[in-house]
Amino acid sequence: MDRDPQSWARLGHALRASREHRGLTQSAVAELAGVSGRSVQDVEGGTVPKKRMPYTIGRIAAALGWPEGAVDAVLDGAAPPGDGWRTAPVEQAQLDEEALAGIMTTAMVRATEHATAAEIRAATRIALDELRRQGYLPETDGVQPGRDSENS
């Protein structure tokens, strides 16, 4: 990712605009992306990346719903992804657990060449459980783990 400082500034501005359009704080994006708040600040500020920052930038862009390849495209001078390409925020999307499990299994097969079918099924179950825990999928028994009725 060897680009000029203006490219990084343009990317930072585009990511900030995308975050603000979605009504998210830097802290919220950091949490969604699994990165530090300082990382979000640095990226939005146009900081020229260091060793691990390209990974961080990709996670931030993904948390904002940017498609794969959008970061490089913006760095190369393309317009950032438009706000209309994503029809609904993740928290509002209707998720069909069976279809989602199929998509996840296919992705895991493609990503893990040497995993056994049992390992892939186990990883899919873990991911689905995590989606349930975070409230993206309904619980089968009507109770979300880790949430009591007072905090719901």
Q: What is the tens place of the pLDDT at every residue in 54-88?
A: 778 989 998 988 888 888 888 888 888 864 333 33
Please say whether the beta carbons of 21 and 83 come within 8 A.
yes
End-to-end CA distance of the chain: give it in Å, rounded: 43
Do 22 and 62 belong together in one domain?
Answer: yes
Q: Are residues 72 and 102 in the same domain?
A: no
Concatenated DSSP letters for the chain?
A: ----HHHHHHHHHHHHHHHHHTT--HHHHHHHHTS-HHHHHHHHTTPPP-SSHHHHHHHHHHHTTPPTTHHHHHHTTPPPPPTTSS-S-GGGS---HHHHHHHHHHHHHHH-TT--HHHHHHHHHHHHHHHHHTTSS--TTS--TT--TTT-
Model pLDDT, residue 52: 58
Residue 148 resides in a domain: no
Q: How many domains does the chain have?
A: 2
Q: Are residues 19 and 83 in the same domain?
A: yes
pLDDT tens-digit map of 100-117: 777 777 777 766 767 788
Does some domain include residue 31?
A: yes
Indicate whether 35 and 10 sit together in one domain.
Answer: yes
Look at residue 90 and tell me whether its pLDDT is greater than 70: no
The CATH number for 27's domain is 1.10.260.40
In a domain, 81, yes or no: yes
Q: Is residue 147 part of a domain?
A: no
Residue found under tokens 């009507």: 142
Q: What's residue 30's pLDDT?
A: 92
Residue 102 lies in domain: 94-133
pTM given for the model = 0.53
Instruction: Give the Cβ contact number of residue 8 at 10 Å.
Output: 22
